[in-house]
Amino acid sequence: MRLTHLGSIALLSVALVACSSHPTKPTPVPKPVISEAEKETVAQTTEPVAEPEVEAESEAVIEERHEPGRFIAEGNASFYGAKFHGRKTASGAIFNKHAMTAAHPSLPFGTRVRVTHVRNGRSVVVTINDRGPFVKTRIIDVSRAAAEQLGMVQQGVARVRLERLP
């Protein structure tokens, strides 16, 4: 009986030593499968600028009027991040962050729009060459150059007024 007891202790000791000298590898967690369409959607909706505090940002369009020959809207604007520079826009043009261009959800490509920063009164004229923004609380995405002239780079998002030009 004593021999059996010692044999059990010996086997237990060997098992413990074996376990301690060979750490077990963690079971790998499978990566989620993301389709190309989902990747494109994420790429389009990812905004590199931080969300600043903007009054009533939950309302995308405060005012929108269609007057003969003119389109006027007021709401929030953001600007394209640097990662889009050199990529194709929805119109087929290559995005240039130094050009005076913008993305709008519905205005025809080639439409010229005056964008005025409501708080500081600065304005620029941009040409629509892309679709967007893909954030529901915004009405237009402008290029970095336009954002600099509007004085909205530090904020990231600004309240603007849009006016379609003839």
- Kindly state which CATH superfamily the domain 44-164 is placed in: RlpA-like domain (2.40.40.10)
Delimit the domains of the chain by residue range.
44-164
List the beta strands (DSSP E) in 30-142: 61-67, 70-79, 101-103, 112-117, 123-130, 140-142
User: How high is the pLDDT of residue 41?
Assistant: 45
Q: Find out whether 155 and 52 touch, Cβ atoms under 8 Å.
A: yes
- Residue 121 C-beta-side C-alpha neighbours within 13 Å: 0
pLDDT at position 49 is 41
Q: What pLDDT, on the 0 to 100 scale, is given for residue 133? A: 93
**Structure tokens that stand for 152 in this block:** 């909205």
- pTM for this structure? 0.61
Q: What are the mean pLDDT values of the chain's consecutive 10-residue runs (166 residues total)?
A: 54 52 50 50 42 45 59 90 90 95 95 96 97 93 97 95 93
| CA distance from start to end of the chain | 104
- What confidence score (pLDDT) does residue 80 get? 87
